[in-house]
Structure 1
Amino acid sequence: MANLFHYDNPIWRFMGKVADIFFLTVLWTLLSLPVVTIGAASSALCYVSLKMARNEESYIFQSFWKAFKENLRQSTALWLIMLGLGFFFAGGLYIWHRATFEGAAFIFWLYLVFAVLYLCMLMLVFPLAARLDTNLKNLFFMTFMVMLKNLSWVFFMAVIAGCIIALGIFVFWPILFFSAGGISFIHSKILEYIIFPKYGWDSVSGAESKN
């Protein structure tokens, strides 16, 4: 019975992880409110989540704020590029879906394929920005190559994100208070133990690693 209140008890460890996920979601939401800072907030979220996946997290706020400041410039540029691409694909899908001339359906499906690939890249680009110390050109190239070589896992990550958001919207809205942190944490487990080790990015001593 005494072990029930011990800090190393599995129940307390689990509750602590849930509390960290909630706090991460709050931090990400608050620092994303200006919209233009969503990229830096997402990189910081991934930075802390990757540490949590390796059980290396310390002070959540300090780690998040440090990563936010260090990634502000590059991640803001990254976010603006991804946002522009998102509008491009969304606009193209809307236009070609409404078009009625011959060949419009083919172009719509072509746009849809590229839009899906874009969403898959979105699953990876901020975690890689948080992990790797490289420029935007190399970051996009590595994100694209990692996505192609791990497409099934990236699809699985997208399904997880979609299911958590759908559960929060349509089934039990309090889930949304844990959504961003929960999605990022689950994704980080997949990245740290399945995808990153293929490229040597699981080592914190790697020359390209930020962590």
Structure 2
Amino acid sequence: MDGRYASGLRFPGLISQPQVAEARRDLGRRLAAWRAERGLTQMQLARSICYSRSSVANAEIGRDASVRRFWQDADRAVDARGALLAAFDQMAALVRDFHTQQAQARDEERQRRAGRTATRASHAATGDCGCGTVVVGQWTGQETRALREALRMTVDDFARHLGVAPETVAGWEHHHTSTPPPTMATQAALDETLTLADSNTKARFLLILDTPNHHP
């Protein structure tokens, strides 16, 4: 067997989904090369290891890496002398590392969110939002509701404050497609309301926006 099939793919650093897919395809190409060198068809190989031809075909295109037993049997059938099995183990280790990295990334993101939430809560408790001027680029239902809740206002009170109907505020907060978004005048009124709010209200506003399970 040509030496080019003897060593596995190496992906230093963070592993991406495309790299995992390429590792599967590379493993499949090795199987196809060993099978062809032994003069076997996919059907002949499948019968010799008691698998279906589609299992072999899928493995060769990287669609299904199958289980270790498959590669152990295939390795013996094509007389790869452990090369195929070693390649599978290497690919499987890459997949495990990929999933481990993904889990770690999710954990780190949860920790960052928890840290930001704790910071917002601390600032709210001390009356310091810790962020200087708070600016909203475009008011949507999420920001509108966060401001209303930060002000401790009901939908009716908030609507009167902005000079709109309560149904309009409810429509913004629940993303009703029949409710037009805030007009430029209303956007300006929301900007002014946030600007004039005290530091506790601003801190609550940011805390509410930063809460992962807060839905408008």
Greater RCO structure (CA 8 Å; 6+ sep): 1
Q: Greater share of helix residues, 1 or 2?
A: 1
Q: State the TM-score, normalized to the length of structure 2.
A: 0.22
* Largest Rg, 1 or 2: 2
